[in-house]
Structure 1
């Protein structure tokens, strides 16, 4: 799968070996790996394996990991993508229980800008409309308040506790469709505070 997914501010492209150096730098950053890899340093070989697994998943399952890069519009030109890696978002699994997990990470200087939720919406849209999944989960470190908030913003619901004190959130296709309709209704009927 080589098709790009775009949001208002992001271009999501399936990870490839050309992203290897940027992914290694991103995933070995202390603030990123603290929540994503339980503070373990990821090796170059592991990054190669993750990229290869994602490419296999896209070929066989229709989903995997996307590299996140900015989009911008130059005056009088079409939308242009490029620039530095902002992070990663995607789907992995299924696990032994059959669940497909959504994962995401952003460069620390991009935290708090709504980009994780924007990428998450795109990933869930792909999961439920293109890949045909019925349910997506997220395993989140309880100390990561920002990721907990993103999961809730995406309409995911707390489903219990996982290994090591992580919180398990999930959303199914029907819930996602309801959340999407709610977003459209809110945009069509903004509150006075939004005007």
Structure 2
């Protein structure tokens, strides 16, 4: 079982006991407003995704557990496409603004390059959420600009921004 510890977090595979905390997070429209998981609208849809995705791949999906109270506060995952890992993450609203995503991201970037052997890691964010872009920059990723747009149900136009880091650039930064 792959697990990492940081100063404040345990980054570990999801567990069946994470169901309720993750469901509360992914059924919260504030959390998923710009994520692929906004399509999960009901507890039944979430439970199916929890079983077939979140629990099914302990090598690419990780829960973020706060050490101080052992609560699941978020998740990180890689979606593999050839030699690129697309990074997705989310936190429960009470964990926003505490630096947890960047803290967990450092060992996960190393894991992506060293263990999953990605030649490139990408992450995307909605321009209306610039904090997510700042996290990507803190992880050493490079801003590649706008990659797409989509329209929310309420008609709001969302610009999807892309960050990426090559294994070569990661190795250079790591050795510096």
**Interval containing the TM-score (normalised by the shorter chain):** 0.7 to 0.9
- Quote the Cα distance in structure 1 between the aligned partners of 2:51 and 2:114: 24
**Counterparts of 1:84 and 1:28, CA distance in 2:** 17
In 2: Cα distance, 1:51 partner to 1:171 partner: 31
The answer to whether 1:70 aligns with 2:66 is: yes
Within 1, Cα distance between the matches of 2:56 and 2:70? 26
Q: 1:159, 1:169 within 8 Å by CA — same for their partners in 2?
A: yes
Q: What is the aligned residue count? A: 166
Runs of 5+ unmatched residues, structure 2: 150-158
2:21 corresponds to which residue?
Answer: 22
Structure 1, unaligned stretches of length 5 or more? 73-81, 183-195
Contact 1:54 1:64 in 2 (8 A): no
Report the CA distance between 1:149 and its aligned residue.
0.3
Measured in 2, the distance between the counterparts of 1:112 and 1:67 equals 18
Q: TM-score of the superposition, structure 1-length normalised?
A: 0.75
Distance 2:137 2:51 in 1: 28
After superposition, give the CA deviation of every residue in 1:112-134 in whole Å (9 maximum; x if it has no partner): 21111011112101101111111
- Hey, what does 2:139 align to over in structure 1? 154
Assess if the C-alpha contact under 8 Å between 2:16 and 2:55 holds in 1.
no
Q: Which residue of 2 aligns with 1:144?
A: 129
- Equivalent residue, structure 1, for 2:156: none
Partner in structure 2 of residue 169 of structure 1 = 163
Instruction: Give the corresponding residue for 2:100.
Output: 115
Aligned residues: CA RMSD? 2.2
TM-score after normalising by structure 2: 0.82
| Secondary structure in structure 1 of the residue aligned to 2:2 | coil
Question: Is residue 17 of structure 2 the alignment partner of residue 7 of structure 1?
Answer: no
Decide which structure has greater helix share: 1
Q: 1:98, 1:134 → 2: CA distance?
A: 6
Q: Distance in 2 between matches of 1:25 and 1:157?
A: 32
